[in-house]
Structure 1
């Protein structure tokens, strides 16, 4: 009987040791993740200041130069105005991502579902980003198949998703290349695939690419909003909208992000389908 009790105690002790070792290992992994996240947050905040301050400084400097030009120097004024637009575009993109991430962190995101004219919606985004692509000698090759012209979704959040994916494609494409954009819609939903040719994403990074405050480019002077913040926003928005996203990357075929979204239902069942109510992008927006 004593031997039996001793064996039971030894077994329980061994089990407790194993559980304790597993618990300690989990704590170590959690601590490593927290340290990694805190380190990147500090790095991110210090670098993002430059990402915001530099465009502001450029805009102020260029504007001052324009004021000093004469009325007969219209070509120089036009060139400087183009630079101002480019800097303002980048700043707008950065700030929208930061504000979106802040709302997600605070739990203040809700869906605003309206019927969206999907072809107009997609064309408008491509037109707004075309100059950005052309600066790197990139061309958009779009292939749209919309059996349903209107799609019930949150257009502002879908716009953030699509713009972030395209900005990533522009940033990480090799120059003088083509970015392939394939979009389809039906009564079952909307799908979008964006492919760019560039340096492939390592297999190990594909598992963490959508993590908040996880960046793939570790260079001290580079903070890429797409891989550091934009993709996590995309994932959070898609989770809210019951959508999915996958990524494939290889040296031969490039990198392809594919998202699938179902049509959303309005909680109050009050979607209006009149042409005047269809969501079209405001011309006042930079993207």
Structure 2
């Protein structure tokens, strides 16, 4: 009799243990299902945000191209029909140049973004006269610097040379300086610096503008991202400049970082390591710029 009871108890314990294991397995499966659902919802949210950003980006691109084209056409018509004094003609010519320069700058960003997206961009290294390159970047923005009465301090050796990709680095610096000029109030101070370290070259663009909120800093290099969005935004731009700069620095095995505090300005720091390549071009030969030299009117 006792043997039968013991046998029944063993069977009951085995059944209880089997049920417990089944319940544990079901709980784990339910937990895994909830985790998969959460991840899918997170991915879906990111996809929806990405689509919204792309839609906003396309709307911006349309405005960034249409607005200067409309201005150029209107100013050209005025120039063709005015027959006014030389001073008026020169002023209109200067405005046409500024609009055309801005349009060309935006298109160059779009083209390089397309190359990066397609995986077709690659670095082309040569010995670059960095002093000349950085002065050219400033000179190309001279009209906007003067218009906003900004002070741009150039802090780099007169004979600074470095092996890098001149065109890609110029695009990075053009975008950083353009951002500083766009988002700084009139009369602000901007400092453009460069110098050698033991392992490469450091560059920086520092401004005394309004700065960026801490919670926005993590998103500044996101593609299509603009910190000021919507129809009431007060600054132009399409949200590609910083993401392109980050992608190009990655392409050149460099780094880019942004430190900012609201009300105290921002500083963007670049580091480029010495590339392991054989270079046969001179600094003068390698400075092939994407943008025309500034015109005098």
TM over 0.5: yes
Helix, strand or coil: the match of 1:181?
Answer: strand
Q: Indicate the structure (1 or 2) with the bigger Cα radius of gyration.
A: 2
What is the CA–CA distance in structure 2 between the aligned matches of 1:187 and 1:130, rounded to whole Å? 33
Report the counterpart of residue 26 of structure 1 in structure 2. 39
Asked if structure 2 preserves the Cα contact closer than 8 Å seen for 1:116 and 1:278, the reply is yes
What is the CA–CA distance in structure 1 between the aligned matches of 2:280 and 2:197, rounded to whole Å? 19
What is the CA–CA distance in structure 1 between the aligned matches of 2:289 and 2:61, rounded to whole Å? 28
Asked if structure 2 preserves the Cα contact closer than 8 Å seen for 1:215 and 1:224, the reply is no
What is the CA–CA distance in structure 2 between the aligned matches of 1:279 and 1:92, rounded to whole Å? 19
* Long gaps (5+) in structure 2: 1-13
Change (3 A) 1:25 1:250: same
Give the TM-score normalised by structure 1: 0.90
Change (3 A) 1:168 1:120: same
Change (3 A) 1:81 1:164: same
Length, aligned pairs only: 281
What is the CA–CA distance in structure 1 between the aligned matches of 2:27 and 2:66, rounded to whole Å? 58
* CA displacement, residues 52-81 of structure 1 (integer Å, 9 cap, x when unaligned): 0111121122112212233x6111110000
Report the counterpart of residue 4 of structure 2 in structure 1. none
What is the CA–CA distance in structure 1 between the aligned matches of 2:212 and 2:283, rounded to whole Å? 42
Question: Any residues of structure 2 matched to 1:1-287 within 5 Å, and which?
Answer: 1-70=14-83, 73-145=85-157, 149-186=160-197, 188-222=199-233, 224-225=236-237, 228-266=239-277, 269=278, 271-274=279-282, 276-279=284-287, 281=289, 284-285=292-293
Between 1:124-133 and 1:2-11, the stretch displaced more is 2-11
What is the CA–CA distance in structure 1 between the aligned matches of 2:81 and 2:263, rounded to whole Å? 51
Give the TM-score normalised by structure 2: 0.87
